[in-house]
Every structure is written in structure tokens, then in C-alpha cells.
Copies of this chain bind each other. A is one copy, B any other.
């Protein structure tokens, strides 16, 4: 709110800000759920899970549009400044990240469909563990936002290193397996793609955590290589 605070207007604004927080958290929950289902689709190669993932993604898309409208309305109506404005600007960006994660999760599910054209292929433990790690990063990045918890945001940044490590191992695993049995090249490349999508979801969670850290500490870390690498 601007400097000339009007108690009633301020109360309205605070209430709407709370609703915005709830809304973005709930969208985060849906995205998390979608990630879990996509990994499950990859493991089980159950086509009905792929269709379901697509339906969930549509709901996420619609929600993104509405949250963006909410943010712009809040700015236009209450003309917030300083921390409040910064928070809403962060939500605008985080909203886009969540929608992007939804897209990526669906791409993973689509790879499950591609994989189902091949015979049985083992989904390495690394990939499944990566899925769990990424899901936890998404949850913690959103929690760090609503609680303005910069410590938790830092944890997300650190977790990203682990995910990158998993992905590097997947890269080596695929390279090795392809050389051992070139006839498996296509399904193995699909697995590698799924791993890369997971890595990108982790990157999006990292973007959120970096914004949260900036919001809480007023310090830009998104470009501090020593933390991110």
C-alpha cells in the first residue's frame, strides 16, 4: 500500500494478498501432483495417465491466466509500493514458472507414450529419485515464497545441484548403454529427454527460490555462480 494508508483499504488489500498466496500455493500443489503422475506414467507406461496429465495441464494453464489477472488488478486497484509491489511482481514471474513446469511435466508423460512403442525398458533408479527430488524442490520453493523463508530458498538452490548430478549420471548411463547395445538407442534417448525435462523443472524451481531470496533479503543471488553451481 502507498504511504497514505487507509485502514479499510489496507485490510481489503491484505485479505486479497492472502488469497493470492493461497491461490499460487494451490497451483503449486497441482503442478507437484502432475510431476508425480508423469514420473509414474514413465515407469508404468500406462496411456491413461498420459491423457490425465494433459487434462491437469489445461487446468494449470487456465489458472495461470487468472492469477496474472489477479496480480494486475491488485496493482491497479491498490497501487502497492515497496515490499508489497515486489511481492506481487515476484508472484507474476513465479506464476509463469509454474505454468512452464506443467508443460514440462506433460512432456515427460508424452515420452512415456513414446517409450511404450518399445519393449520393456528399465527406468533407472536415478531418474525416479530425480523425480522425487524435483517434486520436493517445487514444494519447498512455494513454501519459501509464502513464508518469505530465505533459508528454505537456499535449500532449494542446493538441491538443484543434486538434480544436476543425477542428470549428468543419466547422460553417462545413456551413453554407456547405447554403446553397449545400439539397437536400444531410441528408447534410451527418450529416457534422456525425460531426465532433461526433470532438470528443467528443477531449474524453474530454482528460479522461484532465487526470486524469493531476493524478496526476503533484498539481495540478488540469481547470478551468483558460487551458489547456483
Q: What residues of B have a CB within 8 angstroms of the CB of A75 in the complex?
A: 75, 85, 89
Q: Which residues of B contact A189 (CB under 8 A)?
A: 171, 174-175, 192
The count of identical subunits is 2
Among A178, A183, A222: residue with most chain B CB under 10 A: A178
A117 within 8 A of B: no
Q: Is the CB–CB distance between A72 and B93 below 8 Å?
A: no
Q: At the interface, yes or no: A16 with Cβ under 8 Å from chain B? A: no
* Chain A residues with a Cβ closer than 8 Å to the other chain, count: 35
Q: Mark A61-94, 1 if CB is under 8 A from B, else 0.
A: 1100100100110011001011001100100110
Tell which of A65, A82, A86, A175 has the most Cβ of chain B within 10 Å.
A175
A174 to B207, CA, bound (A): 31
Q: Is there contact, CB below 8 Å, between B196 and A185?
A: no
B58 contacts A223, CB within 8 Å? yes
Report yes or no: A76 in contact with B72, Cβ–Cβ below 8 A. Answer: no
Scan A181-211; emit 1 where CB is below 8 A from any B CB, else 0: 0110110010010001000100000010000
Is A220 interfacial (CB 8 A cutoff)? yes
Closest to A183 in B: B179
Contact of A61 with B96 in the complex, beta carbons under 8 Å = no
Tell me if A65 and B185 are in contact (CB < 8 A): no
Contacts of A192 in B (CB 8 A): 189
For A89, what are the chain B residues with a Cβ–Cβ distance below 8 Å? Answer: 68, 71-72, 75, 92
Contact yes or no, B58 A72, CB < 8 A: no
Q: B223, A61: Cβ atoms under 8 Å?
A: yes
Question: Do B71 and A81 touch (CB < 8 A)?
Answer: no
Assess whether B72 is in contact with A86, with CB atoms less than 8 Å apart.
Answer: yes
Knowing A82-B76, A85-B72, the reply to whether A178 touches B182 (Cβ < 8 A) is: yes
B-chain residues with CB within 8 Å of residue A85 when the two chains form the complex:
72, 75-76
Q: List 8 interface pairs A-B (beta carbons < 8 Å), by A numbering.
A: A62-B223, A75-B89, A76-B81, A174-B189, A175-B185, A175-B189, A189-B192, A196-B196
